[in-house]
Amino acid sequence: MHGTPVYTAPADTAVRGGHPEHTETRPGPERYGDWQGRRRNAPAETADAPPPLIPGQRRESDPDDEPDEQLPEEAPARTGGKGRTLTGIAAAAVTTVLAVVVAGQVADRDSGAAVARSAEGPTDRAVDQGGTSRSDDRLTPSHPAPPAAAEPAAPPTYEQLMARQYPIDPKLKGSGEFEAVGGFDKAPGKGRKVQYRVDVEKGLGLDPKLFADAVQKTLNDERSWAGKGAMTFERISSGDPEFVITLASPGTTGVWCAKSDLDTTVDNVSCDSASTSRVMINAFRWAQGSDTFGAKAMFAYRQMLINHEVGHRLGHSHVTCRTPGALAPVMQQQTKSLDIDGIKCRPNPWVHPGN
């Protein structure tokens, strides 16, 4: 056929289809020297035969679509082809040895790779030191969902705010300017309606709304001055009130109390400035309380402070406790002491504590 080298076969060799009876296989590079030696020692008629093929190799001159034909097994061996037959057997043996060697190398290489993979662990789980996955098919684990944002804390209740202490300088003297707390709190009870206003000194740093709420709730409590139904209190922010309950710094409180000949600077206390319209509540006492009640009774102390000073505005004078261990009257100066003339009483914020 076109492109196929022509080999001259001896006359006594059986040929079929234009191909020699045996095809020698070219040895690999490591066996090439042995093959050349055998080629020199081979009979003359095989000296020009092409080198044997390496397993899997095909001569470029062989057509892809025409495989080599072989003689049938019953073809008799001729005397003149004995040398070629022996050469073919030797070449086949070399080819077999090479195939075993190559197969062994491939097996060793595959085995080494398998051992390496086994040492590393499953391929799809192997991760290098940098943390990068060695498997393209491995799914990247999703990051855990961030914790749900904490719900904002509920604002403190009135009771909680009234139980706290607040920082303030005991010698603070404010601007002396007041501002009415806006809004309107209707009188809730029966009896004579008493209208009042709440003012807070500007720049004081205390909550005006909390103070206004405390005044309204305290005065209208059934344990307070409205408890017997004789009166009820209503907060207004404009108009003409009967009095103005004023939260002011210690210095400003002293100024307004002095207008009614009262000295509040000695014990840093509050007063009813009777010659004016103002009932003065000392902001230091409102924020910090007193030793007689202590830090744990701030709520009760503030109720006492309001009831005591408004009581003066309503015409009540100081009263002291006469029974040891009894509740002190609300008109006793409880900020200063609960032990009067050796009679020690308990703190009390209410006009009618039994209601």
Handedness of CA 75, 79, 84, 87 (dihedral sign): positive
Instruction: Write out pLDDT tens, residues 74-122.
Output: 444 444 444 444 445 555 554 554 554 445 554 455 444 444 444 444 4
**In the prediction, which pLDDT does 52 show?**
55
Give yes or no for residue 197 having a pLDDT over 50.
yes
User: 60-69, 166-175, 329-338: which has the minimum mean pLDDT?
Assistant: 60-69
Residue-range domain boundaries for the chain: 1-57+82-101, 160-316
Cα dihedral 298, 299, 304, 305 in deg (nearest 10): 60
pTM of the model: 0.60
| CB atoms closer than 10 angstroms to residue 285 | 22
Instruction: Write out pLDDT tens, residues 202-245.
Output: 999 999 999 999 999 999 999 999 998 999 999 999 999 999 99
Q: Which of 270, 279, 278 is nearest to 335 (CA)?
A: 270
**In the prediction, which pLDDT does 203 show?**
96
DSSP element (H, E) containing 320 = none
User: 8-12, 162-166, 260-264: which has the minimum mean pLDDT?
Assistant: 8-12
